Amino acid sequence: MKKGIVLVVFFSIFSISLMAHPPKSVTVTYNEGKLKIVAVHKVQDPTTHYIKTITISVDGKVVKELAYTSQTSAEEQNVEASLPDIKAGSTIKVKASCNRFGSGSGELKVQ
């Protein structure tokens, strides 16, 4: 009986972890004060499983935190943010967090 309960619990946790996953990749581009972010995060229903937060840091300091209640498509979250006055040599880091599990990040050194 104990073995059966352990198996049920194991498979329940395992199946939940298969449905919840972090973004596969986070691509960051910057041009003339505009930051473009593409977080690849394939889901069945972007209204219930989505990128919940995007955190943008410049040279280690958080400059923007963006929150969402759905994803732009079932394939990815697309974000465009205004970041004027970023100097050449600065490092922009973006962290995208799933509302269910995990996060992914991307980084860019401004040229």
For the chain, percent of residues with pLDDT exceeding 70: 83
- 60: pLDDT confidence band, cut at 50, 70 and 90? very high
State the Cα torsion 75-80-81-83 to the nearest 10°. 120
Q: pLDDT by residue (tens digit) across 14-39? A: 444 446 788 999 999 999 999 999 99
Residue that wins the pLDDT comparison between 45 and 15: 45
Residues 6+ apart with CB under 8 A from 49: 19, 20, 43, 71, 98, 99, 100
Alpha carbon distance 39, 44 (integer Å):
16
- Tell me what the pLDDT averaged over the chain comes to: 89
- Residue 10 pLDDT more than 60? no
**Contact in structure between 49 and 98 (CB atoms under 8 Å):** yes
Looking at the DSSP assignment, which residues form a beta bridge with residue 61?
A: 58
The tens digit of pLDDT for each residue in 61-86 reads 999 999 999 999 999 999 999 999 89
pLDDT on residue 58: 98
Show the domains of the chain with their CATH numbers.
22-109 (2.60.40.730)
Q: Check: CB of residue 83 under 8 Å from CB of residue 92.
A: yes
